[in-house]
Amino acid sequence: MTAFMRAPRGSIHRRLAFVGAVTAGGLLLAGCGGDGDTKGADHTGAKESATSGATASSTAGTGAFNAADVTFAQMMIPHHQQALEMARLADGQASNARIKSLAGRIEKAQDPEIVTLKSWLKGWGRPEKAPSSEMPGMHHDAGGKGTMEGMMSEEDMRKLKAAKGPAFDRAFASMMIDHHKGAIAMAKDEKKNGRNAKAKKLADDVVKNQSSEVATLRTLLHRL
């Protein structure tokens, strides 16, 4: 009887110990699994939220857009960059004070516009450059190289860089008129076909400001 009673007690103790260990282990695993699952869910959710937030943040300032907006930004960046290159030559090579003043205005206006255009393309998830074959308004020069409307050729830029004094003033005025006319044409296309409100507003500014500058340059050219 004693042996019989001891056996159950041992079994009971072992069984209780086993159940306690299993329960504790289960709670431990449940706790670990719960943390892992929660972290995984939180991480995924946070990642998706952060991605959505970044996208929303980058596009919030630019709004809805279409292919015409993208093309406008992609084409206007190099167009502005060449205008800046031309304008920066005036400080050391121009002799006419009004040419220098106008060149300074061009630089002051177009430099920040390049920054804005780049930020829009980044927010839209589009590259700053597009293949020339996909860009309307492109034509090919005698060497087969694609150029945008109003853009100066490499030869044009070499001549401008070599010019000094009145010769530079005349070359600058003539080239910038053509350059501005190309920008105005692109801006008018954006106003007509674009969707993004801020891009269309910038295009409107380009048309107004550069049309005014073309008029000034023509007057100067007649007097130089």
Q: The tokens of 72 are what?
A: 């406008």
Q: What pLDDT does 109 receive?
A: 94
Output Rg (C-alpha) for the chain, integer angstroms. 34
Give 173-178 contacts, CB < 8 A, sequence gap 24+. 173/99, 173/217, 173/218, 173/220, 173/221, 173/224, 174/221, 175/86, 176/83, 176/86, 176/106, 176/213, 176/217, 177/214, 177/217, 177/218, 177/221, 178/150, 178/152
Give the Cα separation of 119 and 20 in Å (integer).
62
Predicted local confidence at residue 134, as pLDDT: 52
Name 25's Cβ contacts closer than 8 Å, sequence gap at least 6: none
Q: For residues 224 and 96, is the Cβ–Cβ distance under 8 A?
A: yes
| pLDDT in single tens digits along all 224 residues of the chain | 444 344 444 444 444 344 444 344 443 333 333 333 333 333 334 433 333 333 433 444 458 999 999 999 999 999 999 999 999 999 999 999 999 999 999 999 999 999 999 999 999 999 999 876 455 544 434 433 346 889 999 999 999 999 999 999 999 999 999 999 999 999 999 999 999 999 999 999 999 999 999 999 999 999 98
In this predicted structure, what is the pLDDT of residue 131? 73
The residues pairing with 139 across neighbouring beta strands, listed in sequence order, are: 147
Mark out the alpha helices in 2-137 (DSSP H runs).
2-60, 67-93, 97-124
Query: What is the reported pTM?
Result: 0.68
Alpha-carbon gap, residue 174 to 159, rounded angstroms: 12
- pLDDT at residue 63, rounded to an integer: 82
Query: Residue 35's pLDDT is what?
Result: 39
